[in-house]
Amino acid sequence: KVRTVLMSGGQGSFEVDAMTAYAVRAGVAPAAAVRDPNGERTYDSCLNARDRFGARSLIITSQEDHVARAVYTCRRLGLDAIGVTADEFTGDRYLVYRLREPFAMLLAWWQVNVSPPR
């Protein structure tokens, strides 16, 4: 069980609004659904969770490849993070998602190991 569900994602508030509405319809109390529309990249979402929202431990829910990258990034930034895999991404952007993940993992590695974390 968790006290807060932090909705973080890119595309401005569109993605975050959709996730928040879904969570509230599924029974999450509106006050417990906290929005972070500034998580354009996974690195930013992890930093925001730590620095802006004061998180120290996280349960990250996303698709398999992304959850691995998000847990790795958050842990390297000092957060206690575990992942729960959601259903795989489907739809018209599936191919883009599959092609970008290896590059996104390389970027995540670079951001937390070569480029000094903020």
Q: What is the pLDDT of residue 12?
A: 66
Query: 42-89: per-residue pLDDT in tens?
Result: 899 999 999 999 999 999 998 888 899 999 999 999 999 999 998 776
Q: Is the pLDDT of residue 92 over 80?
A: no
Count Cβ atoms within 10 A of the Cβ of residue 73 and give its class: 0-12 exposed, 13-18 middle, 19 or more buried. buried
